[in-house]
Each structure stands twice: as structure tokens, then as C-alpha cells.
């Protein structure tokens, strides 16, 4: 289902329930019969015998209307649910591996390709992850496993742009950002920035890449309290939300700069450009963390995590700083360890702005 069916509320229950039906009814005749309260309990819905059961029944009705299941009503007994094809045509369900093997020698090749599949770890259910994670996180986990395919998890970095999330999977930038952020907080993925360049001195734009951590699924499901209790995040809009939301340190600096921007007089304020693509010299572009402008001057802010301390990264950073200095642009590097206190961060940013942009 596309993101027009919001992955919150009813949309989340439908996704989780369809995945659970596929998990439970993998063997022929691909049917199952359990009361609604049992499904509500498995998915961790509040009040499973009352409101939770009603939400399950609403989701079952939606899945039936969209030809993903059939429902046989039985008086005094749980209804029998039978799987239908996942493509929504109403065709009988067939295991994707069986269907692929049956069609792979036929033409066109797309007949078999429609039945390519991913296999999710059982621990997604048995360790409580499916009930704990939001619909956005579940959606992004499915996307990442799809992108992984048959490649080895340990050595494969995954990447896809916000436009791919929309075009290929029908997911909005808000869903993409929220889901990735939650998966990182849960420890199910890690994220880092990787240069598109293959040469050390080629200052290409950095790209956000993600790495699945399947061993975390082997542990009981848990999320940090701030993730569980926080209200739905408000998107910064378009690329800023998609890019910065995946990297909380850069996001904190951006928000602190926004606060300072609002305090400066309107006629003498600053402009903020997070993650701009800058062409440094022919054939080379680079994306600094934040570019700040004011009074005809420019300042680069870089937020450095522990990986910046490696010898090779140190050399790369110094070379990039030198390129900026040749352009007359100062670079200030902020260690992530110095970003935890909001007041101290604002004070430091104000000092750097005054020093580099507002000096007479």
C-alpha cells in the first residue's frame, strides 16, 4: 500500500497483520483461524479484547476488500482467513519460491521476477519487534531487506534516495526519515556517510548509507524512552528532513542555528544551508555539514564523530579544510561530544558567528 494509506493508526495495523498472516500461514492450505483478540495481543494493541479486537476486525475487512485474503464466517467460532496473492489480484496464494521456480524458464522474465521475495527473521515476531516498532519503521525495515537481497549483510552498505523511496515503494519523506531514525535508535541499523568518490583527494558529495544489524533482532525488542514517548516528529521539509533527520548531531546544530537566526535583527541575520553540494574544482564536489552566511561572509561548520579520528580521515579532513581556506572560507569543526548541552552549543555557535561573520 502506498503512503496515502498512512503508516499510523489503521495503516500500521494492516501492514503488521498482513505480514503476520503470511508468517503464520506459510504452509498449505494457507489458512488460519484465531479470534481477533489473539491477533490484537500478538501485535501489542491496547485493550486486546475490546478496542484492540475492533481494530483487528477493521484491518481484516480492509485486507479482504483489497483482495489480499478471504474470510469465511463461522457462527460461534473464529472466522477462517485464507491468504490470496500478495499482488492484490485475488488469485490463490502460492509460495513465492514455488511460483518463481515455476515461471523462471518462461518469457517474459518479468513473470518470474514478480515473485522474487525476501525472508524476514522469525525473531521479528518471537522477540516482540513487530509489535514494538511503528509502521514507518516496519516499512523501512522491509525496504532495507529488499535492497539487501542475497548480498551478505556484514559487508553490504545500503543506500536509496528519497525519490527512490517514493517512486519504488510509495513512501513519503516523512515516513522514510521517521522509520530510519527509529531503526537506528533500536539498534537494528547503523548509518554513516560514505563518499561517492573512489580517490582520497576527490572531494565528492557524501552519501548516507545504512547497514542492517540482524543480530539485534536476536535480543528482546526495546526502544529508548525518548523514542517511545516523543510526539510524531515535525518534518523540516523536503531535503532537510530527509537528510538531516538521519543524523541527530547535525540536526541539533541546524536547530540551534535556526534559533540564533530568529534572534538576530531581520536586517542583519544569517542564512543557513545544511548539506549543500559545492563544486570545489573541476570534477570535484563536496557537501559540508552546514554552510552559514552573513554580512557577505561564509562559514563552514563540520560536525565530527569518532570516525573522524582515524589517520586517513584526519588527512582527508585537513585537505578539505585547505581547499576552503584557499577560497577564503574558514572551517570550524565541532566534536559530537561537545553538542550534548543545548546552552553550551548555542553559546559556541554564537561565538563562531561573531568571530567569522560579524567582525568589523
CATH assignment at residue 168: 1.10.10
Residues of the domain holding 289: 247-356
Give the separation between CA 191 and CA 248, rounded to whole angstroms: 11
| Strands in the chain per DSSP E | 31-32, 69-72, 80-83, 189-195, 206-212, 271-274, 278-281, 284-286, 290-294, 297-304, 331-335
For the segment 174-230, what is each residue's pLDDT rounded down to a tens digit?
A: 888 889 889 999 999 988 776 655 555 554 556 678 889 989 999 999 888 765 555
Looking at the structure, tell me whether residues 313 and 351 fall in a common domain.
Answer: yes
Nearest CA-CA partner of 39 in 70, 68, 13: 13
The pLDDT, as a whole number, for residue 242 is 52
Nearest CA-CA partner of 12 in 124, 126, 189, 131: 131
Looking at the structure, tell me whether residues 207 and 266 fall in a common domain.
Answer: no
For the segment 329-351, what is each residue's pLDDT rounded down to a tens digit?
A: 999 999 988 888 889 999 999 99
**Is 310 within the bounds of a domain?**
yes
Q: 140 is written with which cell numbers?
A: 523501512
Looking at the structure, tell me whether residues 324 and 255 fall in a common domain.
Answer: yes
**Is 113 within the bounds of a domain?**
no
**Is 12 within the bounds of a domain?**
yes
CATH assignment at residue 255: 3.40.1350.10
For the segment 46-95, what is each residue's pLDDT rounded down to a tens digit?
A: 888 888 888 898 889 899 999 999 999 887 788 899 999 888 889 999 88
Please check the confidence at residue 238 and state whether its pLDDT lies above 80: no
Amino acid at each position: 500500500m502506498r503512503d496515502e494509506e498512512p503508516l499510523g493508526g489503521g495503516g500500521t495495523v494492516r501492514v503488521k497483520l498482513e505480514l503476520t498472516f503470511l508468517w503464520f500461514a506459510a504452509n498449505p492450505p494457507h489458512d488460519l483461524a484465531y479470534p481477533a483478540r489473539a491477533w490484537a495481543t500478538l501485535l501489542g494493541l491496547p485493550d486486546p479484547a475490546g478496542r484492540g479486537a475492533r481494530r483487528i476486525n477493521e484491518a481484516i475487512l480492509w485486507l479482504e476488500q483489497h483482495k489480499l485474503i478471504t474470510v469465511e464466517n463461522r457462527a460461534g467460532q473464529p472466522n477462517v482467513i485464507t491468504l490470496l496473492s500478495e499482488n492484490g489480484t485475488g488469485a490463490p496464494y502460492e509460495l513465492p519460491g514455488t511460483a518463481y521456480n515455476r515461471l523462471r524458464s518462461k518469457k517474459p522474465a518479468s513473470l518470474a521476477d514478480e515473485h522474487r521475495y525476501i525472508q524476514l527473521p522469525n525473531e521479528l515476531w518471537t522477540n516482540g519487534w513487530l509489535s514494538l516498532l511503528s509502521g514507518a519503521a516496519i516499512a523501512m525495515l522491509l525496504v532495507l531487506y529488499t535492497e539487501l537481497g542475497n548480498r551478505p549483510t556484514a559487508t553490504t552498505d545500503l543506500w536509496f534516495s528519497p525519490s527512490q523511496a517514493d517512486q519504488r515503494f510509495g513512501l513519503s519523506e516523512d515516513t522514510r526519515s521517521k522509520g530510519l531514525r527509529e531503526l537506528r535508535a533500536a539498534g537494528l541499523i547503523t548509518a554513516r556517510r560514505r563518499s561517492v568518490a573512489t580517490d582520497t583527494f576527490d572531494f565528492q558529495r557524501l552519501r548516507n548509507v545504512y547497514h542492517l544489524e540482524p543480530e539485534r533482532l536476536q535480543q528482546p525488542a526495546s526502544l529508548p524512552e525518548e523514542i517511545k514517548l516523543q510526539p510524531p516528529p515535525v518534518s523540516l521539509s523536503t531535503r532537510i528532513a530527509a537528510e538531516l533527520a538521519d543524523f541527530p548531531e547535525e540536526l541539533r546544530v541546524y536547530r540551534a542555528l535556526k534559533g540564533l537566526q530568529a534572534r538576530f535583527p531581520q536586517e542583519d541575520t544569517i542564512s543557513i544551508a545544511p548539506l549543500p553540494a559545492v563544486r570545489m574544482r573541476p570534477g570535484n564536489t563536496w557537501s559540508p555539514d552546514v554552510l552559514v552566511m552573513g554580512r557577505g561572509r561564509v562559514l563552514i561548520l563540520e560536525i565530527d564523530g569518532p570516525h573522524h579520528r582515524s589517520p586517513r580521515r584526519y588527512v582527508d579532513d585537513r585537505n578539505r579544510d585547505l581547499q576552503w581556506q584557499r577560497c577564503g572560507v574558514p572551517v570550524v569543526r565541532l566534536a559530537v561530544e561537545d553538542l550534548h548541552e543545548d546552552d553550551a552549543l548555542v553559546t559556541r555557535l554564537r561565538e563562531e558567528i561573531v568571530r567569522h561573520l560579524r567582525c568589523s
